[in-house]
Structure formats: structure tokens, C-alpha cells
Amino acid sequence: MLDISLIGTGGMLPLKNRFLTAMVARLNGSMLLIDCGEGTQVTLKELGWGFKSLDVICFTHFHADHMVGLPGLLLTVGNSGRTEPITIVGPVGVREVVKALCVVAPVLPYELRFMELSFEGKEDFISLAAGNFAISAVGLDHRMDCIGYGLHVQRAGKFDAEKAKRQEIPVQLWGRLQKGESVEAEGRLYTPDMVLGPKRKGIKVSYVTDTRPTTALPQFIAGSDLFICEGLYGDDEEQPQAAKHAHMVFSEAAALAKAGNVKELWLTHYSPAMPDPEQYLENATRIFSNSKAGFDRMTATILFANE
């Protein structure tokens, strides 16, 4: 199961009760953060998941409201006792930008490792593994290079005792094979697929900010259990303004959710000029009914589907 929390939902400007847009995921005791604006460590502390198990930080792009909290967070993670490396993922140049920001945090008790991603075409998807996480990435359409992310939890097939018996697999190996281990015994290699049925549907969460809608997004987010998407403004009348700044309004996010056939949409990255996003939620729900207005520390635990 995958825990997700929107630790901030504000665009551009941190407000007292709305931190800057970011999300955190937790899987098997490991945390992944997407973006880290000013104050992210404060709301993360409020969330109560701790700091030490932060294994991966993904950056969407290099605007201040998505990055400035990094040095403070890294120092706090250091104070939590962490000594294991942290992997930082982002557009090409992320290593240099992080190095510059960390001028005020030059010494950390752990290593930073970088994965820089470049997209030649807007329809290209990249898959990568960092820490416990299987991640997909897509190029977005913002005023600078910007990345949308997907988090994926694979699910093995069901244990199939008949299949195991048919292949004469010793019963004492069943447990280890079922857990995904391969075992060599008496000169024969046993692999998990010998005792498992076909792979089952896993979990998929997609996170898309800051961008205009793109033609690649419906496929990138397709079938997501949760689609977290920016909506700078709720009112459709603000669409030209949103487009001018390479952002979306709620109805555009909802249209993507519908096109991608996702299960649920959470809106985020609100303009500081919009104090009550709920007021405009109907602009999303009339297009995609399972739309919700995200708020700081809105949290969900996503389980595997029953099958």
C-alpha cells in the first residue's frame, strides 16, 4: 500500500495556512518527495512521518516556489540522523541548481546522488527506479523544462499451488518463491513465476504541475488510482490568464482526468488570489465527477484492488 499526502497546495506564494505545492509518498517505510518550496519542511513536520526515511526527492522544475526549501530540509534530514544517500531527480541542470542553493548548507552527513532527465519529445516517457520507487516521467509544457511524475507499485500474481505442484517444486521452497526470491536447489533454479499467477494490477499515482494540458498526458496518467493535477484558477473565465502563465484552470485538469480514465482527481497549486478553491469545484466535477479540491496534508492510503 502507498500513502500519499499533499503537503502543500499553494502556487507561487507561501501563505500562513497554505504551504507551497508539494507531495510526499510513503511505501514500505521509504519516503519520496516531489518538490520542496519554502516551508515544505514545516508542513512535513506537521504531517508526522518523520524525516529520516526520505530517500528520493523529485523536482518538477527550477522555479523558486518549488525548490527554495531544499537546503533547510536537507539540514533537518541530517539532524534526524540519516547517513544514507538521498537521490535527487529532476530536469538536466538539477545538480548545479541544488549545489547553488546549498551554498548555505555546504556540509551534510549523507551523500546526494543525482538523476538528470532530458526529454527530446513531449510524447516520450522515461522510467526509472530510485530507492524503493518505480517512477515514470514525462515532459510538460511550462515556461521552462518541467517534468510530470508517475509512481508505480507493482503487484505480483497470486500464489498458485496447483501450478507449483505441476512443476514439482519442493514445498519447502514455496514460501521464499512466493515472496519473490529465486532459489537454487539440487542443481535446479526455481523462480517466483513458477508458483505465481499472472501479474495483477498495481497502484499508480500521477502528479502533474506546472503545465498546460499536453497531448501526451492522457496516456501518461492513464488508469491512475489518483491523479494530482494543478489548477491555478477555478473560474473558467481565468483560463486566458492561466494559459498565459502556462498553467491550467480546474476544468482543464478535469478534462485530463476524464481523458486518462483515472479513478480520482485531486486539484492543487492554487493561485494565492483564490482563498477558497471549493467554491469552484463544480467546474471540475461537472466534467469529471470524482474531483476533489486538495488541501494541505490531505492524505490517502491507496491499497491494491481486490481481485
Residues in touch with a second copy (CB under 8 A) = 12-16, 37-39, 41-42, 45-46, 62-65, 67-69, 71-72, 75-76, 79, 96-97, 100-101, 103-105
121-128: long-range pairs with CB below 8 Å, 24+: 122/214, 122/215, 122/216, 123/215, 123/216, 125/216, 125/220, 128/89
User: Given 65, 210, 225, 296, which residue is catalytic?
Assistant: 65
> Nearer Cβ to a second copy, position 62 or 133?
62
> Nearer Cβ to a second copy, position 85 or 272?
272
* Whether residue 65 lies in the annotated active site: yes
3-state secondary structure of 2: strand
In whole angstroms, the minimum distance from the beta carbon of 46 to a second copy comes to: 6
In whole angstroms, the minimum distance from the beta carbon of 200 to a second copy comes to: 41
> Nearer Cβ to a second copy, position 77 or 293?
77
- Show the 3-state SS of 48-92: CCCCCCEEEEECCCCCHHHCCCHHHHHHHHHHCCCCCCEEEEEEC
> Nearer Cβ to a second copy, position 36 or 164?
36
In whole angstroms, the minimum distance from the beta carbon of 63 to a second copy comes to: 6
- Show the 3-state SS of 192-260: HHHCECCCEEEEEEEEECCCCCCCCHHHHCCCCCEEEEECCECCHHHHHHHHHCCCCEHHHHHHHHHHC
Contact by Cβ (8 Å): 95, 116: yes
In whole angstroms, the minimum distance from the beta carbon of 293 to a second copy comes to: 22
- Which residues are known to be catalytic? 65
